[in-house]
Amino acid sequence: MGICDGRVVIVTGAAGGIGREHALEFARQGAKVVVNDLASTDAVVEEIRALGGEAQSNSDNIADWDGAENLIASAVDHFGRLDTLVNNAGVLRDKMLVNMTVDQWDAVIHIHLRGTFCPTRHAAAYWRQQHKSGTPIAAPRIVNTSSPSGLYGNIGQTNYGAAKAGIASFTVIAAEELSRFGITVNAIAPSALTQMTEGLTGYVAMVEEVKARTGFDVGSPANISPLVVWLGSDESANVTGRVFNVHGGSISVAETWVAGPGVSKDARWEPAELTEVIPDLLARARPNSTMAGTPR
């Protein structure tokens, strides 16, 4: 028995890394899991079954409209329902802006943004139909994956950061739209050591230093999953439209854009007037936060 006992959960991008850990933790908490990835997910499915859980492998392309629809249908057909969708799939194509190609831009935007929209759209349509038919799913949940790069910015990731910022905004708006069907929509901005981050030498060094000093593997992708599983469970009924930073044993709420110092008058501004106005506003404004959560 666990907090997701009997729930049916889809995890995209679950062949390895953070997605694999999500699938395993949902299974430990009693969920039946559809393990989705373009790469083979057979090993993850076997791990879940070895734990005594139920799992189904799925290789649909979640950034494809029909593929995403088939993913949702396969969960319902195989397990009889769908309770939670975790949008986790993604890729990196890091380049400085002046060297980035349009293909590198499109690849990242496609899998992250379209790959979040398509499954969410089809899952929401399924839950809405259940609601309209008088047999609503009791606690439908969507958990999306943003990133500190999208919330705070990171050099060399204009494509990835733009996509992840878009997912954060998508989460807030989708939560508002889908609340009337009882659907909650939240997101995480995780930091962990995976194939996508193993080339970040500074981050790798930090993880190794903390592990040597404390024994805690702060970079383990398994650290991310407890929050995702909780957000995907019955327990999170009153939480929606929020984005959470999560790294190691740390969880914090990522607050959305906040209106800072301002000025107004009952007339249109002359451009030259702003030479004094804008610097004053910026002097009183909070600096942008960095990836580390500190002022830039």
Domain count of the fold of the chain: 1
The whole-number pLDDT of residue 296 equals 44
DSSP letters of 166-197?
HHHHHHHHHHHHHGGGT-EEEEEEEE--STTT
Q: Is residue 285 part of a domain?
A: no
| The one catalytic residue among 74, 146, 164, 225 | 164
H/E run at residue 245: strand 243-247
Residue 147 designated active-site? yes
Q: Is residue 121 part of a domain?
A: yes
What CATH number is given to the structural domain containing 141?
Answer: 3.40.50.720
Residue 160 designated active-site? yes
Q: Is residue 262 part of a domain?
A: no
Say if residue 198's pLDDT is above 80: no
Provide mean pLDDT across the span 219-233: 96
Cα end-to-end distance, the chain, whole Å: 45
H/E run at residue 8: strand 8-11
The whole-number pLDDT of residue 214 equals 86
The whole-number pLDDT of residue 213 equals 87
Low-confidence winner among 32-46, 80-94, 180-194, 222-236 (lowest mean pLDDT): 180-194
Provide mean pLDDT across the span 114-124: 98
Q: Quick count: other Cβ atoms within 10 Å of Cβ 218?
A: 19
Mean pLDDT, rounded, of the chain: 94
Q: Quick count: other Cβ atoms within 10 Å of Cβ 219?
A: 21
The whole-number pLDDT of residue 219 equals 87
**pTM of the predicted structure, to 2 decimals:** 0.93
The whole-number pLDDT of residue 205 equals 77
Q: Is residue 269 part of a domain?
A: no
pLDDT above 90 coverage of the chain, percent:
85
Where residue 254 falls (left for φ over 0; alpha for ψ -120 to 50; beta otherwise) is beta
**158-182 confidence digits (pLDDT tens):** 999 999 999 999 999 999 999 999 9
Q: Rounded to an integer, what distance in angstroms lies between the CA atom of residue 107 and that of residue 216? A: 35
Q: Is residue 112 part of a domain?
A: yes
The whole-number pLDDT of residue 196 equals 65
Provide mean pLDDT across the span 244-263: 93
Q: Is residue 280 part of a domain?
A: no
Say if residue 281's pLDDT is above 80: yes
Residue 208: pLDDT band by 50, 70, 90 thresholds?
confident
Residue 109: give the domain boundaries.
8-254
Say if residue 82's pLDDT is above 80: yes
| The one catalytic residue among 57, 74, 146, 147 | 147
Q: Is residue 189 part of a domain?
A: yes
Angle between helices 102-109 and 158-178 (to 10 degrees): 30
Q: Is residue 273 part of a domain?
A: no
**131-143 confidence digits (pLDDT tens):** 999 999 999 999 9
Low-confidence winner among 47-56, 59-68, 208-217 (lowest mean pLDDT): 208-217
Provide mean pLDDT across the span 83-88: 98
Residue 164 designated active-site? yes
Provide mean pLDDT across the span 271-294: 90
Say if residue 31's pLDDT is above 90: yes
Handedness of CA 173, 176, 177, 178 (dihedral sign): positive
Q: Rounded to an integer, what distance in angstroms lies between the CA atom of residue 59 and that of residue 36? A: 6
| The one catalytic residue among 57, 74, 126, 160 | 160
Say if residues 11 and 72 touch (Cβ distance below 8 Å): no
